[in-house]
Amino acid sequence: MLRTYFLILAILALAGILLGWNISRFVGAKAVIKTKELAFLPGPTTARVLALGQAATAAKLRWIDSFQFQQLVIDRKDDRLPDGSSVFVRLYDTLIPLDPLFLPFYQNAALNLSGILGRHGDELRYTGLGIHNLPYETKIRRMFASCLVAFFDFEERHPEILDAVLADWAAHESDANGRNQVWRWQQMMGNRAFDGLEQVPYWLEQLEHTTPGTSSAEFVEGALREQLSTYAQRAMSAALKELPQVVFLPNLQDETWQILAKPIAERIAALPATKIPPAGALPIIRDQAGRWRLRHDPWGWPWMRLIDGTFYPGGEFRRDFRGSLSRANQELLSAVKKAGRWPTTLAEVAELGVTIPAPTPAGGTVRLAGQVLVVEWTDPPEKPWPLRAAP
Amino acid sequence: MILVIAGATFREAVRSRAFLGLLIIFAICVALSRIVGWVSSTDGNLVTTNIVLSLQSLIGVLVAVATGTALVQAEIQSRTLYTVLSRPLPRWQFVVGKFAGLSAALAAGQAAMLAIGLAYLWITGAKVTGWLVVAGGLTIAEVLVMAAVSLCWTALTSPLLAAVLGLATYALGHAVASLPGLMHYLKGWQAPVAAGLASLVPDLGHFTYRDQAAHGIPINPGDVVMHLAYAGLWIALLVTITVAVFRRKQL
pLDDT digits (tens, 9 = 90+) for A85-107: 888 898 999 999 999 999 999 99
Q: What's the pLDDT score for residue A390?
A: 55
Say how many C-beta atoms besides its own lie within 10 A of residue A254's C-beta: 10
High-pLDDT (> 70) share of chain A, % = 87
Domain residue limits, chain B:
2-248
Average the pLDDT over A370-377 and give the result: 85
CB contacts, 8 Å: A53 with chain B: 57, 142, 173-174, 177, 204-205, 207-208
Q: Distance from A55 to chain B by nearest Cα, in Å?
A: 7
Average pLDDT, chain A: 81
Residues of A in contact with B174 (CB under 8 A): 49, 51-53
How close is the nearest chain A Cα to the Cα of B180, in Å? Answer: 11
CB contact (8 A) between residue A48 and residue B39: no
> Whole-model pTM above 0.90?
no
* pLDDT tens digit sequence for A152-183: 888 888 888 988 998 898 888 888 888 887 88
**Between chains, do A48 and B207 touch, taking CB under 8 Å as contact?**
no
Q: Which residues of B touch A214 (CB under 8 A)?
A: 41
User: Could you give the C-alpha distances from B87 to A277, B242, B251, in angstroms and in order?
Assistant: 93, 20, 15
Mean pLDDT for B167-183 is 87
Is the predicted pLDDT of residue A31 greater than 60, yes or no?
no
B224 vs A21 pLDDT, higher one: B224
Cβ-in-10-Å burial (0-12, 13-18, 19+) of B148 comes to buried
Q: What's the pLDDT score for residue B164?
A: 93
Q: Is B209 on the interface with A (CB under 8 A)?
A: no
Closest chain B residue to the Cα of A49, Cα to Cα: B175
Mean pLDDT, rounded, for A315-330: 85
**Averaged pLDDT for residues A247-258:** 57
Complex ipTM: 0.80
Cβ distance B181 to A45 less than 8 Å, yes or no, reads yes
B177 reaches A (C-beta below 8 A)? yes
**Which chain B residues in 90-149 lie under 8 Å from chain A, judged by CB atoms?**
142
Mean pLDDT computed over B16-41: 87
Secondary structure of residue A184 in the 3-state scheme: helix
Per-residue model confidence as pLDDT tens digits over A210-224: 888 777 788 888 888
Mutate to test the interface with A, among B45, B47, B61, B210 (most CBs of A within 10 A): B47
A-chain CB neighbours of B178 within 8 Å are 45, 48-49
What pLDDT does residue B17 have? 79
pLDDT computed for residue A382 by the predictor: 86
- State the Cα–Cα distance between residues A145 and A166, nearest whole angstrom: 7
pLDDT at A391: 47
Q: What's the whole-number mean pLDDT along residues B147-152?
A: 92
Q: Does B214 touch chain A (CB under 8 A)?
A: yes
pLDDT digits (tens, 9 = 90+) for B238-248: 999 998 888 87
**pLDDT above 50: residue B45:** yes
B58–A54 C-beta distance less than 8 A = yes
The closest CB to that of B182, out of A45, A102, A216, belongs to A45
Which of B47, B58, B177 is the closest to A60 by Cβ?
Answer: B47
Map chain B to HEC letters. Answer: CHHHHHHHHHHHHHHCHHHHHHHHHHHHHHHHHHHHHHCCCCCCHHHHHHHHHHHHHHHHHHHHHHHHHHHHHHHHHCCHHHHHHCCCCCHHHHHHHHHHHHHHHHHHHHHHHHHHHHHHHHHCCCCCCHHHHHHHHHHHHHHHHHHHHHHHHHHHCCHHHHHHHHHHHHHHHHHHHHHHHHHHHCCCCHHHHHHHHHCCCCCHHHHCCHHHHHCCCCCCHHHHHHHHHHHHHHHHHHHHHHHHHHHHCCC
Angle between helices A215-241 and A200-208 (to 10 degrees): 160
User: What integer pLDDT is reported at residue B120 of this predicted model?
Assistant: 95
Residue A246 has pLDDT above 60, yes or no: no
Whole-number pLDDT of residue A32: 56
CB pairs under 8 A between A and B: 65
